[in-house]
C-alpha cells in the first residue's frame, strides 16, 4: 500500500473540516483524527477537540467503554461492520443516544485504525419509546419521574435481593434564589443542568429521578452505605463546582443530601423517602452542602463513613 502524500493529507484535512457528517478515525481506543462535526456533537470544539483523547471520554462509564470495545472487536473479527445505538456523554455531562456505525479502515487489519460515524438518535429513540417514556420520565429534566422511582424502589424492597441497595435524596439548597435571579426559564434550565451533573457521577446501572421540584432521588444498586456516602460527597462537590448560568446572570448552588441503605424496617417506598427527607432536613439545619444518614441523628457523613467501614 503506497504511503500517503502531502496532497493526500491535505485532502483528508479539507474533508474533515468541510464534511457535515460526524466521523472520526480511532486507533487503540483513542481518537486519532476527528472531523469538526464530531467534536461539535460532543460539545468539544472549544476545548481543544477529541483528537488524542481516549474513547472512554465520550462513554458514560469505563464499563460501557469496555463493553463497546468488545462489541466492536467481535464484529470486526467476524468481518462485519458495527451498527448499534450507544449512550454517550457530552462535555457538560449530559447524555445522548448515538447511532454508531464503525468499520476497520483496512479489513485485512481489523485491529488497526477504524472509522466511526455517529448520529444523534436521541429524539428518534424517544419517539419510538414515547408511550412508555412519557409515563416513566420527567419531561423537564428527562430523568425518571417519581412514579418510576417508586416502582423500582418497591421492587427492591419487596424482593430483598442479596445485593445491597442504597438511596440518596439530593435537595438543592435555597433553590428559590435561583428562580428569583435567573427567572423561571433559567430555573428550568438549572434543574436540567443539575440533573445532568448528578447523572455524570453515577453508573449507568443506577437510577436518577426527579422526585419533585428541586429534589432528586438516586437509587444505587449493589452499593453499601459507606460507598453511597462517597458518591454523595462527590455529588455535593459536583453541584457546588460550577455556577449556574442564564445569559449574563449566574450563581452558585449547593445541595443537602440524605442517605439510607435498604436493610432497615422500611417496607414501602414512602417510608424510605420520608427517612431520607428527615436526613435532608438535618443536613439543611447544619447549613447545607453536606450529607446526613437517615436514622443517625447528629452523625456527619465522615463519621458515618468511618463507622460503616469498621462495621464492614
pLDDT, position 255: 98
Residues contacting residue 228 through CB under 8 Å, at least 6 positions apart = 166, 167, 168, 220, 259, 261
Q: Are 116 and 100 in contact (CB under 8 A)?
A: yes
- Using the structure block, give the residue that is written with the C-alpha cell 422526585: 211
- What whole-number distance in Å separates Cα of residue 37 and Cα of residue 86? 18
pLDDT, position 254: 97
- Residue 68 backbone class (left: φ over 0; alpha: ψ -120 to 50; beta: rest): alpha
Per-residue pLDDT of the chain (312 residues; tens, 9 = 90+): 455 566 666 676 667 666 778 999 999 999 998 998 999 999 876 657 899 999 999 999 888 999 999 999 998 988 888 989 999 999 888 899 999 999 999 999 999 999 999 999 998 888 777 887 889 999 899 899 999 999 999 988 887 667 889 999 999 999 999 989 888 878 998 999 999 999 989 988 899 999 999 999 999 999 999 999 999 999 999 999 988 877 667 899 999 999 999 886 667 899 999 999 999 999 999 999 999 999 744 344 444 444 334 333
pLDDT, position 298: 37
Q: Which long-range contacts (CB under 8 A, 24 or more apart) does 205-208 make?
A: 207/144, 207/148, 207/149, 207/152, 208/143, 208/144
Q: Which long-range contacts (CB under 8 A, 24 or more apart) does 61-69 make?
A: 61/203, 61/204, 63/203, 63/204, 64/204, 65/29, 68/100, 69/29
pLDDT, position 44: 79
pLDDT, position 29: 93
pLDDT, position 117: 95
Domains defined along the chain, listed by start: 6-126 (3.30.450.20), 131-311 (3.30.70.270)
pLDDT, position 13: 67
- Say what the pTM is: 0.60
Amino acid at each position: 500500500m503506497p504511503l500517503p502524500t502531502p496532497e493526500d493529507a491535505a485532502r483528508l484535512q479539507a474533508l474533515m473540516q468541510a464534511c457535515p457528517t460526524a466521523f472520526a478515525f480511532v486507533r487503540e481506543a483513542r481518537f486519532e483524527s476527528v472531523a469538526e462535526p464530531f467534536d461539535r456533537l460532543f460539545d468539544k470544539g472549544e476545548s481543544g477537540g477529541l483528537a488524542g483523547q481516549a474513547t472512554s471520554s465520550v462513554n458514560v462509564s469505563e464499563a460501557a467503554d469496555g463493553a463497546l470495545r468488545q462489541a466492536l472487536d467481535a464484529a470486526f473479527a467476524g468481518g462485519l461492520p458495527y451498527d448499534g445505538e450507544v449512550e454517550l456523554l457530552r462535555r457538560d455531562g449530559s447524555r445522548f443516544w448515538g447511532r454508531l456505525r464503525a468499520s476497520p479502515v483496512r479489513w485485512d487489519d481489523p485491529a488497526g485504525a477504524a472509522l466511526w460515524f455517529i448520529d444523534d438518535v436521541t429524539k428518534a429513540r424517544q419517539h419510538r419509546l414515547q408511550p412508555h417514556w412519557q409515563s416513566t420520565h420527567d419531561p423537564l429534566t428527562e430523568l425518571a419521574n417519581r412514579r418510576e422511582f417508586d416502582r423500582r424502589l418497591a421492587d427492591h424492597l419487596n424482593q430483598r435481593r442479596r445485593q445491597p441497595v442504597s438511596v440518596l435524596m439530593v435537595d438543592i439548597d435555597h433553590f428559590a434564589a435561583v428562580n428569583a435571579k435567573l427567572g423561571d426559564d433559567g430555573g428550568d434550565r438549572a434543574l436540567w443542568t443539575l440533573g445532568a451533573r448528578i447523572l455524570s457521577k453515577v453508573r449507568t446501572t443506577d437510577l436518577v429521578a426527579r422526585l419533585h421540584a428541586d429534589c432528586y432521588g438516586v437509587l444505587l444498586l449493589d452499593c453499601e452505605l459507606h460507598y453511597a456516602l462517597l458518591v454523595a460527597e462527590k455529588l455535593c462537590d459536583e453541584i457546588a463546582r460550577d455556577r449556574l448560568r442564564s445569559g449574563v446572570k449566574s450563581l452558585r448552588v449547593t445541595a443537602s443530601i440524605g442517605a439510607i441503605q435498604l436493610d432497615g424496617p422500611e417496607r414501602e417506598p414512602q417510608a424510605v423517602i420520608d427517612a431520607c427527607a428527615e436526613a435532608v432536613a438535618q443536613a439543611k439545619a447544619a447549613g447545607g452542602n453536606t450529607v446526613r444518614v437517615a436514622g443517625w441523628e447528629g452523625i456527619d457523613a465522615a463519621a458515618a463513613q468511618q463507622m460503616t467501614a469498621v462495621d464492614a
